[in-house]
Amino acid sequence: MDTSEHQRKFAEWTGEHGAILHHVVNGFASGADRHDLRQEVMLAVWKSIPAYRGQAKPTTYLYRVCHNAALMWKRSEKNYRHRIDRFTAETREDAGMAIPPAVHRGSGAEERLELLYAAIHRLKLLDRSLILMWLDGLSYHEMAEILGLTEGNVGIKINRIKGQLTQTLKGNDHGPR
């Protein structure tokens, strides 16, 4: 594949299917981290173009690439955050500092969307991928193909995840898992 074809395919995919990238990024990152993850996902899409053989729909292929990039980023970010959190906890403990209280959230549409993404962030990584795909309207068959699960397993997991999110958003959640 020559450079111009590569650039054309990248522009086509990111233009037509940019919502996939947006949903994955917002589902796996928050705040300033969204920019970092967006860059990682875009780079993964760019690098993956020569490997695309047309055996799957472009959307299925993009979901797989984006979710794999997000999972890899999340693992590396988790390790980094763990080290930072341990350091700051030790620093706070040594300095006798209290952890600041949580910020109050409003009830507008944007705030509700942020609450939904916050609840999604608390899910296990596979569950997070599934619910993002479900919210994007993918069929159980497509989700199963992307994630290597059976359609029945996808259906069971989606119903369980929706229940978890409902409980979390109603405020009946009893803390992180």
One domain for residues 62 and 30: yes
CATH number at residue 58: 1.10.1740.10
According to DSSP H, which parts of 51-150 are helical? 58-95, 109-121, 125-135, 140-147
Residue 55's identity, in one-letter code, is Q
pLDDT value of position 78: 61
Report the distance separating Cα 151 and Cα 144, nearest Å.
Answer: 5
pLDDT value of position 104: 38
One domain for residues 112 and 170: yes
pLDDT value of position 93: 46
Q: What are phi and psi of 104, to 5 degrees?
A: -70, 140
Query: Is the pTM higher than 0.75?
Result: no
Task: Tell me which of 51, 83, 100 is where a domain ends.
Answer: 100
pLDDT tens for the chain, residues 1 to 177: 789 999 999 999 999 999 999 999 999 988 888 998 999 999 999 999 999 998 889 999 999 999 999 988 888 766 555 545 554 454 444 444 333 333 334 446 778 788 888 899 999 989 999 998 888 888 999 999 989 999 999 999 999 999 999 888 887 544 444
| Residues of the domain holding 86 | 1-100
pLDDT value of position 101: 35
One domain for residues 85 and 14: yes
CATH number at residue 113: 1.10.10.10
Number of domains in the chain: 2
Closest among 97, 120, 13 to 62, alpha carbons compared: 13
One domain for residues 76 and 118: no
| Count of residues making up the chain | 177
One domain for residues 22 and 72: yes
